Structures are given as structure tokens and as C-alpha cells.
Amino acid sequence: MYGTVLSTTSPTPSLVRLVLGGPGLAGFAGPGPDGDTDAYVNIAIPPAGAPYTAPFDPDEVKATHPREWWPVRRRYTVRAWDAARGELTLDVVVHGTEGVAGPWARAARPGDLLVLTGPGSGYRPDPTAAWHLMVGDESALPAIAASLEAVPAGVPVVVRLLCDGPDHELALSSPGALDLQWIHRTGGAADTTALAEAVAALRFSEGRVHAFVHGEAEEIRAVRRHLLGERGLERGDMSCSPYWRRTMTDEAWRAVKRDFVAAMDADLP
């Protein structure tokens, strides 16, 4: 499966919004109106100089080419899926000139093709929860923005988001009663615990909270530890995923992610 880039825009200085469409998305089973709000696709980008171009079948490339030519895999959240128009929106963080997916998105132009598989998913705001808590950085912003749209009318939803500064903030809305606060990085070591501190400073409402905590691995781990240890959340009431890890490429991160998640699980009995 592949999408044709229809448009690229920059909602913030570090975000590229790709709208994909075209015949290559026929059969894409995007989330419906009541579907999960953290749905993601696996994208596949050929390494520079690869002897093949999109569209391609990633499995076939792997079967017929040496490893150095295998496509680079990355995961991106379905920010929006318009089934009627067959249009898929992805919001990609561009973190300087580093990486593969970020620079690809920055350079993308209408007509470019992006091979993808999926989607997979695992979370939707529980309509029976008394209130919702959503915490993350720019990589979790697409999932949080999509999730906000699925919070039942009037239900409190507290959002704490980390970003580089005021011009990196995005307008967000929800039918729920939204309490949104952006936290700005300072560039120091304190950035790692800024989200956990923002959550620790919250006065929790009465009743069962359903939490969504996704983003940078160490930041997410600190928030998770606080929620389970000091706030007494049940594990089942929290969706927690370390999307990426500071200083590691996605390949390096995937190689140690299982051990990290096991250690994170063991943080608290």
C-alpha cells in the first residue's frame, strides 16, 4: 500500500503535516468514527541510492535485496482518516536534520509516494471514565489531538504537552471540558522530568481517570511511575508507550525497547 503526497504544510516550525491520497490507499482500513484514536501506520522509506523506488512491496524488497537496501521503517499516527475522500493525514516531527522520516517529510512534495502498512492501534478514551488525562510531547500530539475529539461532551480532559516554545503550540479542541497546558523545554536536564512534574502538580478530580501517556521514553517512564506509585492508578486505566528515545535512532531504540519496557514494568510492584 502507498499514499501519494497531496499536500505538505507546517502547522508549527517542527511539524510537517502530510496529506496522502490516491489509488495506492484503496483498501486502507483507517479507523472509523468510533475507532481507536491512537492508530498508527508503519512507513517504509528506501535508503539513499536504493536500486528501487516507491511503490514497492517491503517484504519483496527484503527477499530480493541485501539488508543495506532494505527500507527504513518508522511509525506515524493517523492524525486523520477521511474515508470518503480516501485521505490520510500524518503529522511528522522534524527534529533538525537528523533522522530519516523527519527529513523525508520536510523534503516531500506533492506527487511523492510513501509506502505504508497498517494501521495498528490500542486506545480510545473510555466513555465510562470520570475524566481523562493526556500527557506527551510533539510525537504524541497527533494521537492526543485525535483522542481529544473522542472525549464525550462535557467530560473533563486534562492535557499536558511538552514543546520547544509558544510558536510550537497547536490549537486543540475537544467536546470535553478541556484543561490544556503547554510546557516549554529549557534545553537542560530538567526537560526529562518536566512532564512528570506538571502531572505531579495537578489536583486530581474525583472518580476514575483514563490516562494516555506517550512520547519520549524517559519522560514517559517518569510520568508512569508517578501515576502508578503516587496516584494509585490501575495499569489497565493507562495507555503508556515510549514512542522514541533521546539519542537513539529508531533502529537502536527498537533493539533495546523490549528490555526498557520490561524494566519500566518492574518500576513498581
Residues that bind ligand FAD (CB under 6 A): 40, 74-77, 91-93, 95, 98-102, 138-139, 142, 243-250
Give least dist CB 203 to ligand FAD, A.
30
251 exposure class (CB count in 10 Å sphere: 0-12, 13-18, 19+): exposed
The amino acid at residue 194 is A
CB of 18 to ligand FAD, least distance (A): 10
Question: Which amino acid belongs to residue 123?
Answer: Y
Would you say 3 or 102 has its CB closer to ligand FAD? 102
Which of residues 2 and 243 has its CB atom nearest to ligand FAD in the complex?
Answer: 243
Q: How far apart are CA 151 and CA 62, in angstroms?
A: 41
Q: Which is nearer to ligand FAD, 89 or 131 (CB)?
A: 89
Min dist CB 165 to ligand FAD, Å, is 14
Residue 113 φ then ψ, to 5°: -110, 140
Distances (CA, A) of 197 to 156, 206, 235: 20, 20, 20
For residue 71, the 8-state DSSP code is P
Instruction: Report the residue number, 125 or 142, with the smaller CB distance to ligand FAD.
Output: 142
CB of 247 to ligand FAD, least distance (A): 5
